[in-house]
Amino acid sequence: MKKLLFLALLTLSVFGGASAQQLKSPDGKFLMNFSIQADGSPQYQLTYKGKLIIKPSKLGLELKDDAKSLLNDFVIADTKSSSFDESWKPVWGEVSTIRNHYNELAVTLDQKETNRRIVIRFRLYNEGLGFRYEFPTQKNLVYFTIKEEHSQFAMAGDHTAFWIVGDYDTQEYDYTTSKLSEIRGLSTKARTANVSQKGFSPTGVQTSLMMKTADGLYINLHEAALINYPCMHLNLDDKNMVFESWLTPDAQGNKGYVQAPDHTPWRTIMASDDAREILASKMIYNLNDPCKIEDTSWIKPVKYVGVWWEMITGKSSWSYTDDFPSIKIGQTDYSKAKPNGTHGATTANVKKYIDFAAENGFDAVLVEGWNIGWEDWFGHSKDFVFDFVTPYPDFNMKEIQAYAKSKGVKMIMHHETSGSVRNYERHLDTAYKYMKLNGYDAVKSGYVGDILPRGENHYSQWIVNHYQYAVEKAAEYKIMVNAHEAVRPTGIARTYPNLIGNESARGTEYQAFGGSKPNHVTILPFTRLQGGPMDYTPGIFEMDLSKISSSNHSYVNSTIANQLALYVTMYSPLQMAADLPENYRRFMDAFQFIKDVAVDWSDSKYVEAEPGQYITVARKAKKTGQWFLGSVNGEIARTSKIDLSFLEQGKKYIATIYADGKDADYKTNPQSYTIRN
């Protein structure tokens, strides 16, 4: 690891009528001004190549049950500036080495009336700005409750935005593309259609928020290192085009509980006149702490298949029986229950998936619905909680373990918490020990439904702390975690790389619930993937789901070639071939790409990109040195010229090209493709 630490030049200028500090990015393209206004309120603004990205915007926090909040009446007590430059190697990732290079300004503010002190720390990268609030040890600010954080992001125009509505419990929305001024009306309509919405402002949106200005600048707002703090949404004052932070409340309506010394997560602003630079940025990761796991040799990227899609589509069921009256809470004897004949996680069926994985070189098999209790959870007993160690009678844990081992295949455990977080925490040690005893090194956890105790939100401080606790506890047992329905990632995987995947967005399963917009996958890398990889579960070959289940009339808005490209454009060290083995056997020549594509990379090149329209990415596999290139398009037809100058000069390459056929159409002919060398 290479590290350089030295003082950076701090300059003074006139900004907002007050003496101000300026901070420049290492390449000089970004300029951040900070000042204290006449009422003592902190304020900043940000420019990129001389263009205003963030107009003068206020900073501060409103406290609950306190006569004086941390909003104004501040004076600058001290400023410290520095520069930092290091290179570090991720355990897994898009590149083998990441450079962490920024200039920093730490401003210490005193509130004379209360004798309180806070620090606002700014880090300016070549990609953009990160800032956070810090609360040093002091007599008059020890324990306090945050009523609201008032970090502003004043936009310089009515930009085009790619957004999903603010929601305390889900991010599983299709993205809307609109002007900022249109968010209020469109957001109200979206909320009306979603019953999970819990009273968020009609102009609230979630981060990561992607925007494009009229003159071609790309802007992204997000947060990094979300630890012991509620998830941040953004409220828009659409008269003045000012976003302001809006924290997820807990069951009592409080936003955050702080004990000094402490600090908030980073608030991040990225900007560029090249959309590819937003995709390639590692700023979110760099704002997180270095890896805290000393031995990471057990953390391995995974390509897997699983007993999942057949349940999602309705072909199979998670539960073993429909004989609900005979099943009692806590009962482990299912001998009197009549099997429903549709249970997916049977010993015989799982062995078929293990065979398919072994035959085709996959690392692991995921099994959902293996443990007792699904009958109760599906609406028959709202008080039911899983125990994570008791399999159904038709799933022989030891037999599966031995069979998978004999085939050289790992197994992935599934823990559906049913939203009962305290129950899961009580069982975590037992559940993780059971996993290791039976040869499971990875878990897919789920948080479907209302959080118990009822009234909590999926993204409040208390639940955010639970997700972190589960990841850190898993690290003690050398278990990798793929968390679904959890808070969206904010670069935590740098610190805990056993967090190998998250869902936290509208994934492939929604193609079985009515579909997603055809351009959905051209937006996710600009938004959801900014904070970490997504377990998107691509690889669907049969788009007409009525051919899988007579009860499902949904249609997957994609083509086979598009599904193949997702393994490259949707970066993740955890990639699933989600469809049924029988559907892959119909198209084994196309399936070859899924078998061949890597899940860990030494280099990545974003060849072309435009949010909502297209993304083309080339990646170099770590072990083989082979290059894989994927290109996905939205609904507007285009001709792409792909620059291959990143390839090593003097070498001869053979390209195997998987593409849509000339007559391919995602609605009428999705299985038309060509393969040529």
Is pLDDT at 102 greater than 90 in this prediction? yes
Region for 643 from its dihedrals, namely left if φ exceeds 0, alpha if ψ lies in -120 to 50, beta otherwise = beta
359 catalytically annotated: no
- Across the chain, mean pLDDT equals 93
Is pLDDT at 257 greater than 60 in this prediction? yes
pLDDT digits (tens, 9 = 90+) for 413-434: 999 998 999 999 999 999 999 9
Chain-centre distance of CA 616, in angstroms?
A: 20
Mean pLDDT confidence for 57-68: 94
Share of the chain above pLDDT 90, in %: 87
193-207, 478-492, 587-601, 632-646: least confidently modelled range: 193-207
Q: What is the pLDDT of residue 380?
A: 46
pLDDT digits (tens, 9 = 90+) for 121-153: 999 999 999 999 999 999 999 999 999 999 999
At residue 515, the 3 state secondary structure works out as: coil
Show the domains of the chain with their CATH numbers: 2-286 (2.70.98.10)
550, burial (CB in 10 Å: exposed 0-12, middle 13-18, buried 19+): exposed
Mean pLDDT confidence for 104-116: 97
Beta carbons of 608 and 642 less than 8 angstroms apart: yes
At residue 571, the 3 state secondary structure works out as: coil
- Contacts for 218 with CB less than 8 Å, ≥ 6 apart: 210, 211, 212, 270, 271, 272, 273, 274, 275, 277, 278, 611
DSSP code per residue over 210-244: EEE-TTS-EEEEEEE---SSPPEEEEEETTTTEEE
Is pLDDT at 668 greater than 70 in this prediction? yes
What is d(CA 541, CA 159) in angstroms, rounded to the nearest whole number? 37
Tokens 């990646």 belong to residue = 619
Q: What is the pLDDT of residue 364?
A: 98
Mean pLDDT confidence for 543-547: 97
What is d(CA 142, CA 275) in angstroms, rounded to the nearest whole number? 43
The residue annotated as part of the active site, out of 94, 375, 509, 542, is: 509
6 band by pLDDT with thresholds 50, 70 and 90? very low
Mean pLDDT confidence for 489-501: 98
Mean pLDDT confidence for 601-615: 98
Chain-centre distance of CA 375, in angstroms?
A: 30
Is pLDDT at 10 greater than 60 in this prediction? no
Q: What is the pLDDT of residue 148?
A: 97
548 band by pLDDT with thresholds 50, 70 and 90? very high
Mean pLDDT confidence for 50-55: 98
Number of alpha helices (DSSP H) and beta strands (DSSP E) in the chain: 12, 35
pLDDT digits (tens, 9 = 90+) for 510-530: 999 989 999 999 999 999 999
Beta carbons of 161 and 141 less than 8 angstroms apart: no
Mean pLDDT confidence for 326-342: 74
pLDDT digits (tens, 9 = 90+) for 176-228: 999 999 999 888 777 676 656 667 878 899 999 999 999 999 999 999 999 99
Beta carbons of 636 and 613 less than 8 angstroms apart: yes
Does the global pTM surpass 0.75? yes
Is pLDDT at 247 greater than 70 in this prediction? yes
Is pLDDT at 490 greater than 70 in this prediction? yes
Six token digits for residue 491 = 């670069």
pLDDT digits (tens, 9 = 90+) for 272-288: 999 999 999 999 999 99
Q: What is the pLDDT of residue 326?
A: 59
322 band by pLDDT with thresholds 50, 70 and 90? confident
At residue 284, the 3 state secondary structure works out as: helix
Q: What is the pLDDT of residue 3?
A: 38
Q: What is the pLDDT of residue 17?
A: 41
Tokens 């702490």 belong to residue = 289
Q: What is the pLDDT of residue 386?
A: 87
335 band by pLDDT with thresholds 50, 70 and 90? confident
Q: What is the pLDDT of residue 378?
A: 59
What is d(CA 108, CA 106) in angstroms, rounded to the nearest whole number? 7
Is pLDDT at 327 greater than 90 in this prediction? no
Is pLDDT at 305 greater than 80 in this prediction? yes
Q: Within 10 A of 65 (CB to CB), how many other CB atoms are there?
A: 8
The stretches of 369-460 forming alpha helices (DSSP H) are 374-375, 397-406, 421-437
**CA triplet 154, 159, 163: central angle to 5 degrees?**
90
β pairing state of 18-24 and 30-36: antiparallel
Q: What is the pLDDT of residue 13?
A: 37
What is d(CA 459, CA 490) in angstroms, rounded to the nearest whole number? 13
14-18, 287-291, 307-311: least confidently modelled range: 14-18
What is d(CA 552, CA 37) in angstroms, rounded to the nearest whole number? 60
